[in-house]
């Protein structure tokens, strides 16, 4: 499975669709969150479980867990609304009183959905089904916890690794340390040394800093954060944020400008054998760990090098994102929804998924590079199952698990969509329109803070 931030259009949909429920945002303990469900891991369940935002047969990691979970559901009939989550469709279904039984969403969508009363608190579900919340990655659980109340059960964790073309680094007398973020000036110099151009076209990208989506990563690497830990204060105009954007955008300018880089990036055969590393058209970039598995499968002989992303102090870091299970307000089968969330994220289910992935990799003669589950106990077991003993894949797997132990995430808040819209609009204005980073972020700060203030006021005022 491949997980990352959804497109900006999706986050924009959260902001616009939120108007559908703006008048009934009730926060924690409000009427929209009330249910008479009785959760018991030994109870025999029935009825229908309608799941939105999830694809049951996308790969063996999903299908192995679904098979186990369906067995635990007994006589419950599963209906999956295939395809990516349409937030507006979901909010409309809640407003009309006909929501799905269960929701699969990005963790950075949970705060807004909870504040708008679209999903219910999960304390009773967690206690009743015996879900071990202490097993989850701390940053993942924090991202689905709004105002000290848990609204989602984390699943999967996405972290960034530094991925580089060793051949291009060698040709330029560079090393992975020059492009892992630990020395921003060295990384900019590496971009200039590695880039190749033909007229106005970039034929080889030296370094891709992966804006706009990774601005929080670079701010965190510089010792800052785009939002306060309590989710109440935007920090988009902080010194660390401004400097991070100036630097990360400046990497593109040093190579001919973002439009030229983006054109080359977009033309790549990203998931195929002709990807940028295999064709020697990319020096280095931060990228989510699941791409390690893709590269090993489609271009196992590519000249690769891996490391964690590093802070400016040289320490490993990663900006964690991922998915979560949530129970909609008005769910017609919350007991089955809770059972599904428990089993799908259990150590047993992840073990079955890893066994399935390992078997397929062995059939193909390829190493098993691991899975990041969001469950620390499962992660430990699966790490011990990995078979990537040869370089560069051994280094890649080691970096993946090291990054997973050094994560941070944006906290849950009642205006997560509006906040991300403001942040990414600022970054895109710098990249595409030449806006001044400090001025763009100051404008974004005002917009984001206003949205946070309004969201918290509505949440705490009861709507």
Per-residue confidence (pLDDT) for residue 34, from 0 to 100? 60
The pLDDT of residue 82 is 79
Read off the pLDDT of each residue in 273-282 and give the average, rounded to a whole number.
Answer: 96
Give the tens place of pLDDT for each residue, 44-97.
999 999 999 998 777 999 999 999 999 999 999 999 987 789 999 999 999 999
Structure tokens at 115: 């504040």
Report all structural domains of the chain as residue ranges with CATH numbers, in order of start: 8-156+322-354 (3.40.190.10), 160-319+413-456 (3.40.190.10)
pLDDT at site 45 = 95
pLDDT in tens, 84-120: 899 999 999 999 999 999 999 999 999 999 999 999 9
H helix intervals, 153-202: 166-171, 184-194
pLDDT value at residue 462? 61
> pLDDT grade, residue 20 (50/70/90)?
very low
Q: Which two tokens stand for residue 265?
A: 């990036």
Query: What's the mean pLDDT in 304-317?
Result: 98
Q: What is the mean pLDDT of residues 220-230?
A: 97
Retrieve residue 432's tokens: 């595409």
Write out pLDDT tens, residues 400-453. Answer: 999 999 999 999 999 999 999 999 999 999 999 999 999 999 999 999 999 999
Q: Considering the entire predicted model, what is its pTM?
A: 0.90
Which residues does residue 146 pair with via DSSP β-bridges, in sequence order? Answer: 149
Which alpha helices (DSSP H) does 207-270 contain, by range? 215-221, 239-253, 258-266
Cα separation, 459 vs 261, in Å, equals 42
Tokens of 81: 């609304």
33: exposed, middle or buried (Cβ count in 10 Å: 0-12, 13-18, 19+)? buried
Tell me what pLDDT residue 461 has. 81
Closest listed residue to residue 326, CA positions, set 91, 83, 62: 91
pLDDT, tens digit, 9 for 90 and up, residues 185-222: 999 999 999 999 999 899 999 999 999 999 999 999 99
Residue found by looking up tokens 């609304």 in the block: 81
Percent of the residues in the chain that have a pLDDT greater than 70, as a whole number: 92
Q: Which of 32-41, 194-203, 256-265 has the lowest mean pLDDT?
A: 32-41
Residue 12: pLDDT band by 50, 70, 90 thresholds? very low
**Beta-sheet strands, E only, within 264-340:** 282-288, 304-310, 316-319, 321-326
Give the pLDDT mean for 148-157: 97
With contact defined as beta carbons under 8 Å apart, do 292 and 369 qualify?
yes
**What average pLDDT does the structure give for the chain?**
91
In tens, the pLDDT along 377-399 reads 999 999 999 999 999 999 999 99
| Per-residue DSSP letter, 208 | -
pLDDT of residue 318: 98
Which residue in 124, 135, 151, 120 sits closest to 30, CA to CA?
120
Q: Which of 1-5, 154-158, 339-343 has the lowest mean pLDDT?
A: 1-5
Contact 318, 160 (CB under 8 A): yes
**What local confidence, expressed as pLDDT, does residue 75 receive?**
94
Q: How far is CA 203 from CA 197, 207, 255, in A?
A: 5, 12, 11
Q: How far is CA 341 from CA 131, 360, 377, 378, in A?
A: 9, 26, 17, 15
């Amino acid at each position: 499975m491949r997980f990352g931030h959804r497109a900006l259009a999706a986050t924009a949909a959260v902001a616009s669709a939120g108007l559908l429920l703006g008048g009934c945002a009730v926060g924690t303990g409000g009427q929209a969150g009330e249910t008479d469900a009785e959760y018991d891991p030994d109870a025999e369940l029935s009825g229908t479980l309608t799941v939105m935002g999830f694809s049951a047969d996308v790969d063996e990691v999903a299908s192995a867990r679904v098979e186990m979970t369906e067995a635990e559901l007994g006589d419950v009939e599963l209906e999956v609304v295939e395809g990516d989550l349409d937030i507006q469709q979901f909010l409309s279904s809640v407003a009309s009183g006909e929501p799905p039984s269960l929701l699969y969403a990005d963790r950075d969508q949970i705060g807004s959905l909870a504040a708008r009363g679209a999903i219910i608190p999960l304390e009773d579900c967690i206690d009743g089904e015996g879900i071990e919340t202490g097993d989850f990655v701390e940053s993942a659980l924090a991202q689905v916890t709004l105002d000290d109340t848990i609204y989602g059960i984390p699943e999967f964790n996405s972290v960034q690794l530094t991925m580089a073309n060793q051949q291009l680094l060698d040709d330029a007398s560079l090393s992975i340390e020059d492009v892992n973020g630990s020395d921003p000036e060295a990384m900019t110099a590496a971009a200039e040394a590695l880039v190749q151009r033909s007229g106005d076209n970039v034929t080889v990208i030296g370094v891709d800093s992966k804006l706009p989506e990774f601005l929080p990563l670079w701010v965190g690497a510089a010792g800052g954060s785009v939002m306060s830990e309590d989710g109440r204060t935007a920090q988009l105009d902080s010194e660390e944020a401004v400097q991070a954007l100036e630097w990360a955008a400046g990497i593109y300018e040093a190579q001919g400008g973002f439009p030229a880089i983006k054109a080359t990036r977009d033309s790549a055969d990203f998931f195929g054998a002709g990807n940028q590393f295999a064709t020697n058209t990319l020096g280095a970039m931060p990228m989510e760990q699941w791409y390690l598995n893709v590269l090993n499968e489609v271009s196992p002989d590519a000249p690769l090098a891996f490391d964690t992303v590093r802070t400016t102090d040289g320490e490993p870091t990663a900006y964690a994102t991922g998915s979560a299970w949530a129970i909609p307000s008005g769910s017609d089968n919350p007991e089955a929804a809770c059972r599904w969330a428990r089993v799908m994220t259990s150590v047993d289910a992840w073990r079955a998924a890893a066994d399935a992935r390992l078997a397929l990799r062995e059939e193909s003669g390829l190493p098993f590079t691991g899975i990041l589950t969001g469950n620390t106990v499962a992660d430990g077991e699966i790490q011990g199952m990995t078979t990537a003993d040869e370089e560069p894949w051994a280094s890649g797997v080691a970096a993946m698990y090291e990054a997973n132990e050094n994560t941070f995430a944006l906290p849950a808040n009642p205006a997560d969509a509006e906040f991300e819209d403001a942040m990414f609009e600022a970054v895109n204005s710098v990249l595409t329109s030449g806006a001044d980073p400090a001025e763009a972020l100051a404008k974004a700060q005002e917009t984001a803070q206003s949205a946070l203030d309004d969201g918290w006021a509505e949440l705490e005022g009861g709507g």
